[in-house]
Amino acid sequence: MAAGPTSDPVSPDAFVEAVTAWAQRIPRGSREVLAIAGAPGSGKSTLAARIEADISDTAILPMDGYHYDDELLVPRGDRPRKGAPHTFDVGGYRVMLARLRANDEDEIAVPRFDRDLEIVRSAARVIPRSVRLIVTEGNWLLLDQPPWSDLQPLFDRTAFLDVPIEELDRRLRQRWDGYNLTGDALRAKLEDNDLPNARLAATGSITPHWTVQE
């Protein structure tokens, strides 16, 4: 297992600046992929949305759109670990990444995860051929174990959001409080799933091009 990301840290502002400079060099008609990884609650989706807003011809592919459904997780006994590496359709995600990289269709529909309903919405947004930069984000994109490690050739640049475990704990408590999760249910969610996932993402990921620290 890798020791975790160790590239020299940059601020979110410096990271967005560097990505902007890189994206501007992508020729029209070409397409490249930026992978943003990090623990649950580290701010991946927020940073991806900022890049999409700041850089033209950019679109997001969230890894969470490849969650296994509860209809599969419950009989397998994996529902309490939803979000762990083995609870995703990595093969389906890899096929979509390859399809997006090929960029030989007028538009490609991609899924997104509806956290309010805990389901994946298929074909929830469309990415047109004109998009030059795909920003994909998720906990396990840089995980140094198969099948996740098989994704590495599909990424042109990578980033890891490095957030202290104490701050992740605070953010995750705030997140789940918004979903009325309290008491033993909250404790189980954090201590049996989210925080172990956070530690695995931090220690089990390969070194990225950018380590982002607030």
Q: What is the pLDDT of residues 130-156, one digit of tens each?
A: 999 999 999 999 999 999 999 999 999
Q: How far apart are CA 84 and CA 43, in angstroms?
A: 17
Please state, rounded to an integer, the average pLDDT across all residues of the chain: 93
Over residues 48-65, the mean pLDDT reads: 96
Encoding tokens for residue 36? Answer: 């943003």
Instruction: Give the pLDDT score at 147.
Output: 97
Lowest mean pLDDT of 47-61, 65-79, 91-105, 160-174, name the range.
160-174
pLDDT category, 116, cuts 50, 70, 90?
Answer: confident
3-state secondary structure 166-212: HHHHHHHHHHHHCCCCCHHHHHHHHHHHHHHHHHHHHHHECCCCEEE
pLDDT at 190 over 60: yes
Longest Cα–Cα distance of the chain, Å, equals 52
pLDDT at residue 167 in the model = 93
pTM summary value: 0.91
**What is the predicted pLDDT for the residue at 115?**
85
* HSE toward the beta carbon, residue 114, CA cutoff 13 A: 11
How far apart are alpha carbons 42 and 162 in whole angstroms? 7
Cα–Cα distance for residue pair 208/80, rounded to 1 Å: 29
